[in-house]
Chain A
Amino acid sequence: VVEHLERLALVDFGGPEAVARLERAVAVADRLRAVDTDGVQPLESVLEDRCLYLRSDNVVEGNCAEELLRNSHRVVEEYFVAPPGNISLPKLDEQEPFSPS
Chain B
Amino acid sequence: MLGRTLREVSAALKQGQITPTELCQKCLSLIKKTKFLNAYITVSEDVALKQAEESEERYKKGYVPPYNATVVQKLLDQGALLMGKTNLDEFAMGSGSTDGVFGPVKNPWSYSKQYREKRKQKPHGENEETNWLIAGGSSGGSAAAVSAFTCFAALGSDTGGSTRNPAAHCGVVGLKPSYGLVSRHGLIPLVNSMDVPGILTRCVDDAATVLGVLAGHDCKDSTTVQDPVQSFILPSLTDVSKLCIGIPKEYLVPELSSEVQSLWSKAAKLFESEGAKVIEVSLPHTSYSIVCYLVLCTSEVASNMARFDGLEYGHRCDIKVSTEAMYAATRREGFNDVVRGRILSGNFFILKENYENYFIKAQKVRRLIANDFVNVFNSGVDVLLTPTTLSEAVPYMEFIKEDNRTRSAQGDIFTQAVNMAGLPAVSVPMALSSQGLPVGLQFIGRAFCDQQLLTVAKWFEKQVQFPVIQLQEIMGDCSSVFENDLASVSLKQ
Tell me the residues in window 402-429 of chain B with beta carbons closer than 8 Å to chain A beta carbons. Answer: 403, 405, 421-422
Chain A nearest CB, measured from B357 CB (Å) = 8
- How far does the alpha carbon of A71 sit from the alpha carbon of B58 in the complex, in Å? 12
Q: Is the CB of A25 within 8 A of B222?
A: no
Residues of the B chain whose Cβ atoms lie less than 8 Å from the Cβ of A32: 288, 291-292, 295, 358, 361-362, 365
The answer to whether B294 and A11 touch across the interface, beta carbons within 8 angstroms, is no
Nearest Cβ distance between residue A55 and chain B, in whole angstroms? 5
Interface bin, chain B:
35 or more
Q: From B298, B313, B447, give the contact of A46 (CB < 8 A).
A: B447
Are A89's CB and B294's CB within 8 A? Answer: no
B321 near A87 (CB under 8 angstroms)? yes
Chain A residues with Cβ below 8 Å from B363 are 42-44
Bound together, the chains give a CA A50 to CA B337 distance in angstroms of 38
Docked pose: A21 CA to B340 CA in angstroms? 11
Chain B nearest CB: distance from A69 CB in Å? 9
User: Across the interface, do A72 and B312 meet the contact criterion of CB distance under 8 Å?
Assistant: yes
Given contacts A42-B363, A44-B363, A80-B312, contact A22 B344 (CB under 8 A): yes
Partner of B225, one of A50, A55, A87: A50
**B288 / chain A contacts, CB cutoff of 8 Å:** 31-32, 34-35
Interface string of B66-101 (1 = CB under 8 A from A): 100000000000000000000000000000000000
Contact of B325 among A1, A47, A55, A89 (CB under 8 A): A89
**Is B291 a contact partner of A31 (Cβ separation < 8 A)?**
yes
Interface class of chain A by DSSP: loop
B180 at the interface (CB under 8 A from A): yes
B331, CB-defined interface residue at 8 Å: yes
Tell me which residues from 73 to 101 in chain A have a Cβ below 8 Å from any Cβ of chain B: 73-74, 80, 82-89, 98, 101
* Cβ-defined contact, B66 with A11, below 8 A: no
Do A83 and B367 contact each other (CB < 8 Å), given the known contacts A11-B332, A53-B217, A67-B66?
no
Q: List 29 A-B contacts (CB under 8 A).
A: A5-B347, A5-B351, A10-B327, A11-B328, A12-B340, A13-B340, A14-B332, A18-B341, A22-B348, A29-B294, A29-B358, A31-B291, A33-B361, A35-B364, A37-B364, A43-B363, A44-B363, A45-B193, A45-B223, A46-B193, A46-B447, A47-B180, A52-B223, A71-B64, A71-B66, A71-B312, A80-B311, A83-B326, A88-B324
Main secondary structure of the interface of B (DSSP, over half): helix
Q: Taking A71-B314, A73-B310 as given, write out 10 further A-B residue pairs in contact, using a Cβ cutoff of 8 Å, ordered by the A residue number.
A: A11-B340, A22-B344, A22-B348, A40-B364, A42-B360, A46-B180, A46-B193, A46-B421, A55-B222, A87-B321
CB-defined contacts of A59 to chain B, threshold 8 Å: none
Residue of A nearest to B409 (CB): A28
Residues of B within 8 A of A72 (CB): 311-313, 316
A63 and B292 CA atoms in complex are apart in Å by 42
A28 to chain B, nearest CB (A): 6
Q: How many residues of A contact B (CB 8 A)?
A: 57
Residue of A nearest to B326 (CB): A83
Is the CB–CB distance between A10 and B328 below 8 Å? yes
| Pair A73/B66 contact, Cβ less than 8 Å | no
